[in-house]
A and B are shown apart, each in its own frame.
Chain A
Amino acid sequence: MSKETREKTHADKVKDKAFKKLVALGKDVYGQLEEGKYPDFEMPLRASSNIFYDLKTRQYSVGKKRVRRSAGNVRHLKPFLQTMFVASFAARDLLQPGRTSTLRDLYYSSESAMAKMFGDQSESDKAITDVEAIIGMAREDFNIFPDARSTIYGDLIVSFLDKKTKQRRELNLAFNPDGQTIGPTLVKSDFVKTGADKVICIESGGMFQRLIEEDADEQFNAILVHLAGQAPRGTRRLIRRMNEELNLPVYVFVDADPWGMHIYNVIASGSASAAHLTGLTTPDAIWMGLTPTDITTYDLPTDNFTKGDLNRTVQLIRDPRYQKPYLQEELKVFMQLKKKAEQQSLTSKSLTFVVDEYLPAKFNEIAKMQRVGKI
């Protein structure tokens, strides 16, 4: 059986779609240039005035407003050029030969095409976001990834096409006791089989290692994901796919502070900077803690709120993504307590406290709340 006729994987389909859309953009601009016109194209407006919380999809979304970017406008000229570079680089240097690039790779690659095309990496990152908005697909779909730093561990077997050996391979994510890096291959891999019935996302590396060591994956029948702070998009996409394709409920276990809460909420509802994308959010993800109530319940060692913590909490109270009653309640507890605690403060009880006491109690509590419809 030749390669062409074999069934296309999920990853192949996404890749083809992205490639076609990019080439269509190129043909459009090329055609306008041939007519001797200053080329232009349209894209959704990403200004905050056009970003809102979509109750239907339960994520941050871009509205209907669109902007026209024209090479005839001197202020649009450089962004236009940058966008065209990113699109041509993605289609012809990445997707076509099957390469991937990090955000930083792309920034450096631009130098060979045109010196000083980007002032710094934030400019090239912005151009990448523009291309995402134009074709309505995520940068991972055209093979541009952030540096992988997030990991996964648990009973899940995935399959993918190994680019080196050109062979299909299967991988058990419980194979590596340090956790498996969540890279582009893994994010786009096909799920084969899992015995787990939930996903637990963990903010800090220390807690992730503790849970692996204490066999939390077996005890709670869970796949463990290390977020490493604010979760990278690939990780968010993988979480969403596990939730959607494997029907696994997702629990998010973070520090007890407004920043930890927001890590949860970006997984659930998305961020303004990725509002033009879909498929990254897991609206049903559950914030399991640490909650400020946990701080008092378990009498955990704490730090005092800084001014920044307080301001952030006030912002979150007003944020449309935080309107669920239990989130509002807990935010108000923060305001009263004015204290925060790290996940690892649970270790102050004992090394096994988190698996022996905290998590079982937490799952019970969440189940109870779900029954009364509080979550």
Chain B
Amino acid sequence: MSKVEFKQLSPADFFYRNRELAGFDSPTKSLYTAFREIIENSFDGAEIGGINPDIFVSIKEKSEDVYTIFISDNGIGIPGSKVPKALAKLLFGGKYVERQSRGHFGLGASMTVLYSQITTNLPTRVLSCTRGSEVIDEYHLMIDIQRNEPIIRYHNQLPNKKKWHGVAVEVNIEGDYGRAHPKILNYIESTAMVAPYANITFIDAYGILYKFNKVVDEVPKLGKAVLPHPRGIDTEKMLRLIRVARQKSMKNFLTSNFQRVGDITAKNFLKYVNINPDKVPSQLDHDEIVRCVQGMNSFEDFLSPETKCLSPIGEAVLEAGIKKELEPKFIASITRKPQAYSGHPFVVEVAMAYGGNKIESSSEPTLFRFANRIPLLYDQYADVAAKVIRSFNWRMYKVPQNGNLAIITHIASTKVPYRTAGKESISDRPELEREMKLAMQVCARKMRVYLSRIEREERSAKRASIFEKYLPYIAQFATKLSGKKQVPPTDFVKSVKKGDD
């Protein structure tokens, strides 16, 4: 009998073996993913402290197919002692409360450090300094993949003479820059569009500098951390909550572990699932747990989910960013009221920008998609926004055949319903699709008012020019025909009369 050896994989080892799950599959995609992971970290670092992000990022070719990404920010920084774990230990500090966050795969920069190590075998250099600190910590880090522990190759403390705070990272990645370049550029331009409160400087691998300056001062408030809503619970999560629960009764367990559940709701719910309110949570048997979880999904009297955990961009900021990046002639936007699907709150925001030279003129609107402020650049066709756009008859809204219309969609949620593990397109949940459609209708109606006016103005300008062109000829022919000498003036054309069409 052969012996099968079961070995537990460390998270680092797991992601080492399944790196495509975290977006590191092809050399092109890997470079792009590394780039966005560290930029998103920098944004989070500044926004948490209410600081207008000021980010510098560059990509340089180090050797053939190896690129050095350097980034520095002005965020709150990571305390020196925590730097190694924050960057060189995967899944460090899990998120057990719910809050809208950028974190694309919940892996942050550590996955980038890991990928750098396995493709180039080089350490990642990190500088970090918290606000008011006298020293800057410098680390050269690698990861012990089997144990998921940081390896510190070098550590030094430098004097913080210029009172800097933030994080700077230099990481080497194997990748295909030529192919990744358009996506990287698209990503950073899109990011700038929804973050008009940030300064971003970017130097690409060809040495070209891109600068995005802030036009608003207000830094978005992060969503508050909240307890989970009962409707989003599954059995596994329930078991975990029960395991750590200190409450002595089911009623108390419900009111202290879930959002917006008070005494009355708890009592009614327990009656609904036929569980004694005074029962000790740890004493629930298997059947009761299953009944409880199923009941949470079907019980109708829970209040709708808490929305203070969400952080929509807001109409003013959204419009400011779009005006800055797309320079449209017209813009309309809406931030819808929060809604929920399966216990997860979400907010849909839509903006429509029309005209100008920067928006491509096309038979279909140009779509910019965002989820929790992150641009989504792949799988556009499958996205709920693209589906809703296809369902619109744009002629009805006076959009010309080859109009230059851009549509910007943002979904903010504690759990964005992605269609696939790749997290690049959002599924068409009915609640979401409905909100998306209503939001687009609101914007499109405003746009129609604008476009109708443009159409009218163009028509009357065209009419005036026709009169100006033809009437002098009529006068000339009438003069010749009547045998008169002087051609009568036709300057009354200026006060254009309305044709009866």
Contact of B499 among A25, A73, A87 (CB under 8 A): A73
The 10 residue pairs across chains A and B that have the minimum distance between CB atoms = A26-B481, A26-B482, A74-B499, A88-B481, A84-B477, A33-B488, A29-B478, A30-B482, A27-B482, A88-B477
Query: Is A363 close to B, CB under 8 A?
Result: no
| Chain A residues near B489 (CB-CB < 8 A) | 36
Query: For chain A, which range describes its interface: under 10, 10 to 19, 20 to 34, or 35 or more residues?
Result: 20 to 34
Residues in B whose Cβ lies below 8 Å from that of A38: 497
Closest CB of chain A to B18's CB: distance in Å? 68
Q: In the complex, what's the smallest C-beta–C-beta distance from A116 to chain B, in angstroms?
A: 11
Indicate if A367 sits at the interface (CB-CB under 8 A): no
A23 with B482, Cβ < 8 A, contacts A71-B474, A77-B470, A87-B477 known: yes
Q: How far is the CA of A318 from the CA of B481 in the complex (A)?
A: 44
Interface contacts beyond A88-B477, A88-B478: sample of 6 additional A-B pairs, CB < 8 Å, sorted by A: A36-B492, A71-B470, A78-B466, A78-B470, A80-B470, A88-B481
Chain A residues, Cβ within 8 Å of B475: 30, 33
Q: Is the CB of A39 within 8 A of B497?
A: no
Are A75 and B501 in contact, CB atoms less than 8 angstroms apart? yes
**B residues near A30, Cβ cutoff 8 Å:** 475, 478-479, 481-482, 484, 488
A28-47 near B? 1/0 per residue, CB < 8 Å: 01100110101100000000
Residue with the greatest number of chain A CB neighbours at <10 A, chosen from B466, B482, B484, B500? B482
Q: Does B105 contact A (CB under 8 A)?
A: no
Interface membership of chain A positions 176-213, coded 1 if the CB is closer than 8 angstroms to chain B and 0 otherwise: 00000000000000000000000000000000000000
B499, A84: Cβ atoms under 8 Å?
Answer: no
Q: Does A252 contact B (CB under 8 A)?
A: no
Q: Is the CB of A72 within 8 A of B497?
A: yes
Count of chain B residues with a beta carbon within 8 Å of a chain A beta carbon? 24
Are A75 and B474 neighbours in the complex by a CB distance under 8 Å?
Answer: no
Interface set of A (CB-CB < 8 Å, partner B): 22-23, 25-27, 29-30, 33-34, 36, 38-39, 71-75, 77-78, 80-81, 84-85, 87-88, 91-92, 113-114
Q: Is the CB of B482 within 8 A of A84?
A: no
Question: With A72-B499, A74-B499 given, is the CB distance from A23 to B474 under 8 Å?
Answer: no
Chain B positions near chain A (C-beta within 8 angstroms)? 463, 466-467, 470-471, 473-475, 477-484, 488-490, 492, 497, 499-501
Q: Say yes or no: B481 contacts A39, CB within 8 Å.
A: no
What is the CA–CA distance of A73 and B471 in the complex, to the nearest angstrom? 11
Supply 19 A–B pairs (Cβ within 8 Å), ascending by A.
Answer: A30-B479, A30-B481, A33-B474, A33-B475, A73-B501, A74-B463, A74-B499, A77-B471, A81-B474, A84-B473, A84-B474, A84-B481, A85-B473, A87-B477, A88-B478, A88-B480, A92-B481, A92-B483, A114-B473
Q: A34: nearest residue on chain B (CB-CB)?
A: B488
Contact, CB under 8 Å: B470 / A81: yes
Chain A residues closer than 8 Å to B478, beta-carbon distance: 26, 29-30, 33, 39, 84, 88
On whether A26 and B499 interact (CB within 8 A), knowing A33-B475, A34-B488, A77-B466, the answer reads no
Residue among A26, A71, A74 making CB contact with B483, cutoff 8 Å = A26
* Bound form: Cα–Cα A92–B497 in Å: 32
Q: How far is the CA of A187 from the CA of B142 in the complex (A)?
A: 107
Contact B477 A33 (CB under 8 A): no
Q: Which residues of A contact B467 (CB under 8 A)?
A: 74, 77
A132 to B404, CA, bound (A): 48
A33–B477 CA distance with the chains assembled, in angstroms: 12
- Residue in B closest to A88 when the chains form the complex, CB atoms: B481
8 Å CB contact of A23 from B471, B483, B497: B483
Given A73-B499, A74-B499, A74-B501: A22 and B481 within 8 A (CB)?
A: yes
Nearest residue in A to B459 (C-beta to C-beta)? Answer: A74
B492, closest chain A residue (CB): A36
Chain B positions within 8 Å of A84 at CB level? 473-474, 477-478, 481
How long is the Cα–Cα vector from A92 to B484 in the complex, in angstroms? 12
Query: Measured between alpha carbons, how far is A151 from B499 in the docked complex, in Å?
Result: 49
Determine how close the nearest CB of chain A comes to the CB of B483; give it in whole angstroms: 6
